[in-house]
A = this chain, B = another copy of it.
Amino acid sequence: MATNWGSLLQDKQQLEELARQAVDRALAEGVLLRTSQEPTSSEVVSYAPFTLFPSLVPSALLEQAYAVQMDFNLLVDAVSQNAAFLEQTLSSTIKQDDFTARLFDIHKQVLKEGIAQTVFLGLNRSDYMFQRSADGSPALKQIEINTISASFGGLASRTPAVHRHVLSVLSKTKEAGKILSNNPSKGLALGIAKAWELYGSPNALVLLIAQEKERNIFDQRAIENELLARNIHVIRRTFEDISEKGSLDQDRRLDGQEIAVVYFRDGYMPRQYSLQNWEARLLLERSHAAKCPDIATQLAGTKKVQQELSRPGMLEMLLPGQPEAVARLRATFAGLYSLDVGEEGDQAIAEALAAPSRFVLKPQREGGGNNLYGEEMVQALKQLKDSEERASYILMEKIEPEPFENCLLRPGSPARVVQCISELGIFGVYVRQEKTLVMNKHVGHLLRTKAIEHADGGVAAGVAVLDNPYPV
């Protein structure tokens, strides 16, 4: 991992010319973002930030991450169907975290009146970092699993051409040939298409719940385009649109244009919900349409569930009779610690205060940029220590990958060679009809890379940039 593109990163003039070529290729391939100035319009656009070179990733870790993805799909699906596990796991969290509590309320309400949907669709992304170890062989450690709005599958489908271009310009034809092909947008669309087909109404549509301000629309359009190529039509609506015009008929079918699948690209953060948006979410959840994700699957992606899954015996309980899957899953788990009030939580806090550099403090939040490290974590833990609020957080072992050099390209900034670390995501897709799993696949990967000066943050948060694994 410590080896990299070496001297290529030293020639400033060559880097600048390569960067110009790479940026034009990225734009031409559709690696686009709307601008921060005009996030509601596509009149002018820019490129999504990316690395000039692909980053080296050990093949064995890539293979391991792919191999465990179907196990994670099964695990998420099992958790989402286990109301007792969810209720017990989240009982302390929902007392302290209003967002999780509101999601849980909707979950309970649909359980009470009976789940209308018969088709269940999971599109998730399991994210990993490469923990360095004493013997120098890095280990795959899961950071989190995203069960709602897992993004960048579309843009990641367009980036291999960019890195192949850069290496070809350098006459590194053999190296260019090693960049893996990747098409998560197609795989994600195939999952949606399967759920649409099982819904069984040829004129029904896919409803994409979109944000009004969406810089990352081209990531979503890539999936929409794959669906359109299969004659499946997508309409984009905001929660506000649903709140104003949405209704259910007597069979809990979404009225007007019938909806077969609701695909959420909004609704994963508290600030995305006004009161009317919560009502819209409930309306959608009560409908007969397949939701991606349904509310239970969104809850299965919380940090608290992740932490609870690492407890001895939990995987065995949720995936009975599958010891190999359990072993594969557990091998990717980092140290995870409950901060619930009690002796176990007290001990975790004491350990983190004693060695802050070894831990991360995580709230129940998606979207990047919410975690606390170092001195900030220490201050927060000191404040939380004697409060019940601490149950809304978990503590996680901090993964420390080996840094390497790469060159980061961002609109409006000069090309910058920095020490970086990467995060690998694997996209998983599964479809279940009633109790029968009819699809369980991995459909591609996402590598994101950031300067080590940034402790946290995703691509959309403006910190990590798109990358490709260069298998070694």
Q: Are B30 and A28 in contact (CB under 8 A)?
A: yes
Contacts of A217 in B (CB 8 A): 24
Q: In A363-417, which residues have CB < 8 Å from any B CB? A: 411-412
Q: Are B27 and A228 in contact (CB under 8 A)?
A: no
Q: In A29-52, which residues have CB < 8 Å from any B CB? A: 29-30, 32, 35, 42-47
Q: Are B169 and A44 in contact (CB under 8 A)?
A: no
Q: Are B30 and A228 in contact (CB under 8 A)?
A: no
Q: Are A225 and B165 in contact (CB under 8 A)?
A: yes
Taking the complex as formed, is A218 at the interface, i.e. its CB lies under 8 A from any CB of chain B? Answer: yes
Contacts of A221 in B (CB 8 A): 24-25, 28
Q: Separation in Å of the A234 CB from the closest CB of chain B?
A: 9
Contacts of A27 in B (CB 8 A): 30, 32, 42, 45, 218
Task: Select from chain B the residue with minimum beta-carbon distance to A203.
Answer: B171
Q: Are A43 and B168 in contact (CB under 8 A)?
A: no
Number of copies: 2
Interface residues on A, range: 20 to 34
Contacts of A165 in B (CB 8 A): 225, 228
Task: Report how far A147 CA is from B44 CA in the complex, Å.
Answer: 32
Contacts of A173 in B (CB 8 A): 231
Q: Are A218 and B42 in contact (CB under 8 A)?
A: no
Contacts of A195 in B (CB 8 A): none
Give 29 pairs: A residue, B residue, CB < 8 Å, sorted on A: A20-B42, A23-B43, A24-B42, A24-B217, A24-B218, A27-B30, A27-B42, A27-B218, A28-B30, A28-B32, A28-B218, A28-B222, A28-B225, A29-B30, A35-B44, A43-B46, A43-B411, A44-B44, A44-B45, A44-B411, A45-B45, A45-B46, A165-B228, A168-B228, A168-B229, A168-B231, A169-B228, A171-B231, A173-B231
Chain A interface residues (CB < 8 Å from chain B):
20, 23-25, 27-30, 32, 35, 42-47, 165, 168-169, 171, 173, 217-218, 221-222, 225, 228-229, 231, 233, 411-412
